[in-house]
Structure 1
Amino acid sequence: MSDPADFIDAALQREGSWRRAEEAKARWGSAVQFYGSSVGAVRGTVRDALRRYPDLQHDDVTALSSELWAVPVFERRLAAVVLLQTKVRLLRNSDLTRIEGFIRSARLEALVDPLAVDVVGPLLANLAPGEPVRGQAVVDRWVHDPDAWLRRAALLVPLQALRSGSGDWDAFVRLAGRMLEQGAGRADGEVIQDAISFVVSEMAKRRPDLRLNSPPGGHHG
């Protein structure tokens, strides 16, 4: 492993607890392993690593995220997400391919949701003129992907913009409606329904006037 990856992995293992690991396994299943580190410990570890290695640039950050993700341990993968959240302004349009791979293999809302909301959403917002079209084209492709977790991510990408009032609520309503129709009767439909409920719940805190059945041309924000 690289020095930063080794530093993060060792710190996460030190912060681990077998009791938390068993609780996490009971909650999330056995698709990945668990060190039993708390979310706070993961965030603190990434923060400490960035202080220890302050000169990490784009290629260093993306390579480190892949290195952490490569081992199927929940806390390592969460650390990769936190790293990308922290360094999202360094990310480029081309990084969506890497992030798509993470989403496909994550299969846990605790990893997929922050990747969509806190990484992909801000990444698209930060792209230079001309690039957002290409970036959005990637997310638009996710809408029709057979993988329900990618479709879930596509639903959640605009959440930061919606929270801030700059998003298009009607566009989300139309997308949610299409996805519900496409997923009717599918075994993975709950993954999509849960994402829609999450967005609606989040927006209810800020804009209680908005409804999932808002008519076209109604509210934006």
Structure 2
Amino acid sequence: MSDAGEFIDAALQRESSWERAAEWEERLGNGLRYYGASVGAVRGTIRNAGRRYPGLTHDEITGLSSELWAVPVFERRLAAVVLLQSNLRLLDNSDLTRLEGFVRSARLRELVDPLAVDGVGPMIELLDAVERERADAVLGRWAREDDLWLRRAAVLSPLRALKSGGGDWDGFVRRIGDALRRPRETEADQGAVDEAISLVLAEVAKARPDLKLPSSVAEGLVMARAKAGSQ
């Protein structure tokens, strides 16, 4: 393990709480271990690591994120997410492959959502036009994937940009349509994606009520919700 990785892991374990660990294991489960460090402690640990190891390069940041993620401990994986969020300007569209692997293996809202909303989306907004076009194509593929967590991440990723007056509304609408067309085999599959769509639409409606879904997409969403309610 790298020096930075050891520092982060040791700090997270010092912040551990067996009561919180037991609570999170019962609530979140998913085959992960839990130190019981709070979200605030995870964020503080990454800030401290940044001060202790300043000037890390792109490869060092992404390598450290993979090192943290590789051990199935919730707080380590959350720390990997926060690390990437804290270094968005170092990332580019080539890093979407790594992020896709994280999303596929996360399988928890508490990891997938911050990866998408505060990682993938803001990173794409910082890219130049050519790289952003390539990244948008990747998100389009995610929306068509069988993996429900990739579909959820594709839908959630533009949330911050859309709320703030930017973002690609047409691209978001296309991804909704693609995600809704995927066959849904389970209620959880149905709910995880439709919940994400509803969340983005509700948040955007508060800030930008002028943005409306095309009728065909809106009707598809209504049908999906009705099907979910009948299961």
TM-score, structure 1 length as denominator?
0.90
Cα distance between partner residues in 2 of 1:132 and 1:210: 22
Equivalence for 2:40:
40
Amino acid at match of 1:115: L
In 1: Cα distance, 2:15 partner to 2:79 partner: 13
More helix, by proportion: 2
SS in structure 2 of the partner of residue 130 of structure 1: helix
With 54-63 and 118-127 compared, the bigger mean Cα shift is at: 118-127
| Mapped partners of 1:48, 1:129: distance in 2 | 34
CA drift at 1:130: 1.6
Alpha-carbon distance between aligned partners in 1 of 2:131 and 2:205, rounded to the nearest angstrom: 32
**1:116 matched to which residue of 2?**
116
CA offsets 1:171-193 (integer angstroms, 9 cap, x no match): 43443244234245544111101
* Range that drifts further, 162-171 or 71-80: 162-171
Structure 2 runs not aligned, ≥5 long: 218-231
Larger deviation, residues 157-166 vs 64-73:
157-166
Which shifted more, 166-175 or 152-161? 166-175
Instruction: Provide the C-alpha distance between the structure 2 equivalents of 1:109 and 1:6, rounded to a whole number of angstroms.
Output: 26
What SS is found at the alignment partner of 2:182?
Answer: helix
Aligned CA distance change for structure 1 residues 210 and 130 (closer, same or farther; 3 Å): closer
Distance 2:185 2:57 in 1: 46
**How many Å separate the matches in 1 of 2:206 and 2:13?**
37
Superposition deviation, residue 126 in structure 1: 1.4
Q: Give yes or no for the alignment of 1:206 onto 2:207.
A: yes
Whether the aligned pair in 2 keeps the contact of 1:173 and 1:214 (CA below 8 Å) is no
* Greater displacement, 43-52 / 178-187: 178-187
Q: Which residue of 2 aligns with 1:97?
A: 97
Alignment-derived partner of residue 133 in structure 1: 133
> How many residues were matched structurally?
216
Shift of 1:53: 0.4
Contiguous gaps of at least 5 residues in structure 1: 217-221
Residue of structure 2 in register with 1:196 after alignment: 197
Partner of 2:55: 55
SS of the aligned residue for 1:194 comes to: helix
Give, in angstroms, the shift of residue 138 of structure 1. Answer: 1.3
Could you tell which deviates more after superposition, 204-213 or 47-56?
A: 204-213
Q: Closer, same or farther in 2 for the Cα pair 1:129/1:181, shift >3 Å?
A: closer
Residues 159-170 of structure 1 aligned to structure 2 (within 5 Å): 159-170=159-170
Q: Distance in 1 between matches of 2:165 and 2:141?
A: 25
2: CA distance, partners of 1:202 / 1:30: 28
Give 1:129 deviation, angstroms.
3.6
Whole-angstrom CA distance in 2 between matches of 1:172 and 1:53: 37
| TM value normalised by structure 2 | 0.86
User: Over the residues paired in the alignment, what is the CA RMSD in angstroms?
Assistant: 2.0
In 2, Cα distance between equivalents of 1:91 and 1:170: 24
Indicate if the aligned counterparts of 1:170 and 1:214 stay in contact, CA closer than 8 A. Answer: no
Change (3 A) 1:167 1:215: farther
Deviation (angstroms), 1:49:
0.4
**Deviation, structure 1 residue 140:** 1.2
Q: Which moved more, 1:61-70 or 1:186-195?
A: 186-195
Flag the 1:85–1:214 CA change in 2: closer, same or farther, 3 A: farther
| Partners of 1:170 and 1:215 within 8 A in 2 | no
Paired letter, 1:157:
S
Percent identity, please. Answer: 62
